[in-house]
A and B are shown apart, each in its own frame.
Chain A
Amino acid sequence: MNAEASVIEASGLSVSFGGTPILSDIAFEARHGEFLAVVGPNGAGKTTLLKASAGLLESSGAVLLGGAPIEGLSRKQRAQRLGYLPQGHVFHWPLSVAEVVGLGRLPRGAGADLSEEDRIAVARAMEETGVSGFADRAVTTLSGGERARVALARVLATEAPLILADEPTASLDPRYQLIVLDILKRHAAKGAVISVLHDLGMAARYADRVLVLDEGRVVASGPPRDVLSEERLGKTFGVRADILERNGAVVVVPRSVI
């Protein structure tokens, strides 16, 4: 796939629940190699945007996955092209870590028994996320940071080029936030990642481009240094922030409420 190829492209994407518009006329694109951060205040429609992009919600408008309209793809084809990491890292049954990561192989046709190819993909995903050391432990006994990485490993095991992650760093300590975002950044180099992030500093540090949502509309989009301006943060988030440059990267530090 060439570097300019679009992994996902949405235009005119709109979602409404019971007549109330949640998303209106959204357009965005993630090209091969890109990490796109979706930021916005609570209730801006970030999760809805991810779900609609994944085809998990009824929406109008167009979503193209690798150039193909999403509605023309079977559920299985979609699942092979995009991995969705929901908020919260919930596991309902005490399956082992290896078994949970193996669930990522379901779109590839795996059952309870994994093929050699499945095992390699699972082992690689566990290696990348550093969870191999507790592969046999029940997921329900893990700490928050361990669960987050197992959930991520499950998505990586799918080997889908695109990952849609909904607040993958929520409720993680700073070390695990960096670990999780590093993993996503590495994946983005091989495909693309769209991640909802609450931490603007992390968005500035990791994202190639930032999409700012407010009340269901895209109010800004572009590289972090263009988008995360004092004026934009004031308008959209209602905060004053210090925007600093350090080692060529933008650093965003919210200071006070407007």
Chain B
Amino acid sequence: MTFAAGGRRDGRLIAALALLVVILFFVSLGVGPVWLSPGTVARALVGDGGEAARIIVIDIRLPRALLAVMIGGTLGLAGAALQGLLRNPLASPSLFGAPAAAAFGAVSVISLALVDVLSIALPVAAIIGALVSVGLLLLVAGPRASLLVLILAGLAVSSLAGAGTALALNLAPNPFAALEIAFWLLGSLEDRSMRHVIIALPFMAVGAVLLIWDRRAFRALTLGEEAAESLGFDLAGIRLRVVAGVAAAVGAGVAVAGSIGFVGLVAPHLVRPLVGHDPGRLMVPAALSGAALLLAADIAVRLIPSASEIKVGVLTALIGAPFFIILILKRRGELTGASV
């Protein structure tokens, strides 16, 4: 009989993923219209080297790479937590309309000209939007909702948020503002500053703590809600923390980078077999996998030859949606079965 030697094996996995993130992080600092060698990047980071290299690395590419790590990491956590809570590998923030609702929250305050795009009010509005959507979804779906009900409710929430955003675009004060909103919605890490990092960081930190808090409960939930409760877990509290954590993570991400979908769905999947499908041990690897994915996607958009840079949100959707279709195909039996 062997027990999963969880700690040690996970330690190696986490170290390997962390190394991958660090490598991609440095690649991200070196790649772009001006290619910089690792040596140049390292010198620029410590304040040495030429003025131009310093500006490119520290002012232009560092915020972008940091945001990719933060947003990818929290999206990975949000996906893993939602999948753990709902005991379903198809659960993800974007399927449940959270980014759409966060975008609606942010767009409303922008189009109402209440704030400029670098205000702290933007993430707050986005988080409120995400909070309302995830809360509404769990409320509509109820505690024992089938996946089908959740997805349908998510579709309704997404549509409603999309309609709201369309209305905001429709009523935009001038075509230029409308275009700006439309581009921002596509999701991008281009031209971000440390100010964006600082705005998002506190919300993401709180969100990450909330999401990772209940990892032991996610393991217990493999037995179902009642058994998990009988093992001493407070399900109402867990639901609340996951909803708040997803909202904070997604809301803050959307506020600084627009809508970046599917990372929350894909990231946990890539590492789940490596932790023996244990939803508790999945959390940290899922965060690192999300960070690596978004860094890689953000590097890829700079390498793909095109007239104007492809937005990273467009790329993650282009890759994520087919991935989602493959997942559906794999679980088709379950989805059409009576248990759904």
Contacts and interface: CB of A to CB of B under 8 A. Distances in A.
Given A92-B222, A112-B6, A76 B229 contact: no
Contacts of A102: 3
Nearest to B226: A86
B4 A99 contact: yes
A112 B226 contact: no
Contacts of A103: 219-220, 222-223, 231
Nearest to A99: B4
Contacts of A80: 232
Given A75-B234, A82-B230, A98-B2, A112 B281 contact: yes
B224 A90 contact: yes
Interface in A93-145: 93-96, 98-100, 102-104, 106-107, 111-114, 119, 122-123, 126, 132, 135-136, 138
B280 interface: yes
Contacts of A112: 4, 6-7, 10, 219, 278, 280-281
Interface string B87-105: 1100000000000000000
A78 to B, nearest CB: 7
B221 interface: yes
A84 interface: yes
B1 interface: yes
Given A92-B87, A93-B278, A112-B7, A106 B1 contact: no
B268 to A, nearest CB: 12
Contacts of B230: 54, 56, 78-79, 82-84, 86
Given A56-B226, A92-B221, A99 B234 contact: no
B331 interface: no
A92 B219 CA distance: 10
B245 interface: no
B195 interface: no
A99 B3 CA distance: 7
Nearest to A78: B232
A248 to B, nearest CB: 36
Interface in B313-332: none
Nearest to B235: A56
A170 to B, nearest CB: 15
A93 B88 CA distance: 8
B129 interface: no
B115 interface: no
Interface string B224-259: 101101111110000000000000000000000000
A136 B278 contact: no
Most buried by B among A51, A91, A112, A151: A112
B223 A96 contact: no
Most buried by A among B4, B7, B10, B234: B4
Contact of B3 (A90, A94, A119): A119
A136 B5 CA distance: 12
A217 interface: no
B220 to A, nearest CB: 6
Contact of A99 (B88, B224, B276): B276
B229 A56 contact: yes
Contacts of B226: 51, 56, 84, 86
A84 B227 contact: yes
A90 B278 CA distance: 15
A154 interface: yes
Contacts of B229: 56
Nearest to A102: B3
B231 A136 contact: no
A222 B222 CA distance: 37
Contacts of A100: 222-223
A95 B276 contact: yes
Contacts of B3: 98-99, 102, 114, 119, 122
Interface string A61-85: 0000000000000111011101111
Interface of A: 51, 54, 56, 74-76, 78-80, 82-86, 88, 90-96, 98-100, 102-104, 106-107, 111-114, 119, 122-123, 126, 132, 135-136, 138, 151, 154, 158
Given A86-B224, A86-B227, 14 more contacts: A78-B230, A86-B226, A90-B224, A93-B87, A93-B279, A99-B3, A99-B278, A106-B233, A112-B4, A112-B10, A123-B1, A126-B1, A154-B223, A158-B231
15 contacts: A56-B226, A56-B229, A78-B230, A79-B230, A84-B230, A86-B226, A93-B279, A94-B277, A95-B278, A98-B2, A100-B223, A102-B3, A106-B231, A112-B7, A151-B223
Interface of B: 1-7, 10, 87-88, 216, 219-224, 226-227, 229-234, 276-281
- Give the 3 A-B CB pairs with smallest separation, nearest first: A84-B230, A79-B232, A112-B6
